[in-house]
Amino acid sequence: MDLPNPSDLHAALQHEGFAFLTADAMHGLLDAATLDDWPAFAASWNTLGDDGYLAARGRLRRRRHAVFTADATTGAIIREPNQPHYQSLAYNALQGGIERWFEPVEPAIAGSSSLRRILAFCRDNFGALAPDVRTWRIETHQFRIEARADAAGEPTPEGVHRDGVDYVLVLLIDRENIERGTTTIHAPDGRELGQFTLVHAFDAALLDDHRVFHGVTPVVPKDPMQAAHRDVLVVTFKAA
């Protein structure tokens, strides 16, 4: 989708259950002038902790996590105390059924103009699709997937899946020396509905998690002698 038109975005999510947005479109929807601290925001992906729940693969995925609530009436978005990320086995057969504690999003990043604008964008657009929801539970995940010559990085080690929420935003932050990493969208019966590779910072995918499944193909380094990573911000909204 190339035009930064909220009504087109809402229509795509309502009719298709997903939308892919180019960086230019996302820039327009977010209003790039509100992202004055973006360089520091993006640089915070350099300080993520290991994902210890992936056992041997944990060294290839780094992350931080935070929980917020959004009040649909007042518009207020409030950070909640540190808490675990939980998915049932029905949604995550690989890592579900346990409370997973990750290093928290740093306070300066949680309060940054960039993250606050992204969360407000999600509140406004997902809220327009579910006007009866008064309070949203928001989870934010900073992910860095690393790849080496001898080990591809797996953005979705659980495979094609749903997250067990209402709506999802996947926003590319950075992509360094990486090939592949294509986001695929699937119907519940497994049919592929669309695919899009997040290549440029601000490329994005938005999903109705009730209606579609999603996955990302493994990433590999272009130059096997150099460091390689794929950084994304994942934001999920669920009616509280």
- What is the token pair recorded at 2? 């190339």
* Residue in the structure block whose two tokens are 């990750």: 102
The DSSP 8-state label assigned to residue 151 in this structure reads B
The DSSP 8-state label assigned to residue 34 in this structure reads G
In this prediction, residue 58 carries a pLDDT of 43
| SS3 state of residue 54 | helix
Q: Which of 45-49, 53-57, 76-80, 105-109 has the lowest mean pLDDT?
A: 53-57
Query: CA-based diameter of the chain, in Å?
Result: 52
The Cα 153–Cα 157 span in angstroms is 9
The Cα 110–Cα 185 span in angstroms is 29
117 within 8 A of 189, measured Cβ to Cβ: no
What mean pLDDT is predicted for residues 203-224? 93
**Residue among 192, 16, 32 nearest 118 (CA):** 32
109 within 8 A of 48, measured Cβ to Cβ: no
The model carries a pTM of 0.91
φ/ψ of 202, rounded to 5, equals 90, -10
Instruction: Note the pLDDT tens digit of each residue in 143-178.
Output: 998 888 777 777 667 778 888 899 999 999 999 999
Q: Strands, DSSP E only, in the chain?
A: 18-21, 49-50, 61-71, 77-79, 85-86, 99-100, 135-146, 167-176, 178-180, 182-186, 192-197, 204-208, 213-216, 219-221, 229-239
Instruction: Note the pLDDT tens digit of each residue in 174-193.
Output: 999 999 999 999 999 999 99
The Cα 191–Cα 107 span in angstroms is 41
End-to-end CA distance of the chain: give it in Å, rounded.
Answer: 30
Length of the chain equals 240
The Cα 114–Cα 105 span in angstroms is 13
Q: Is the pLDDT of residue 1 over 70?
A: no
The Cα 116–Cα 110 span in angstroms is 8
Kindly list the structural domains of the chain, giving each domain's residue range(s) and its CATH number in brackets, ordered by start: 6-239 (2.60.120.620)
62 within 8 A of 153, measured Cβ to Cβ: no
Average pLDDT, the chain: 88
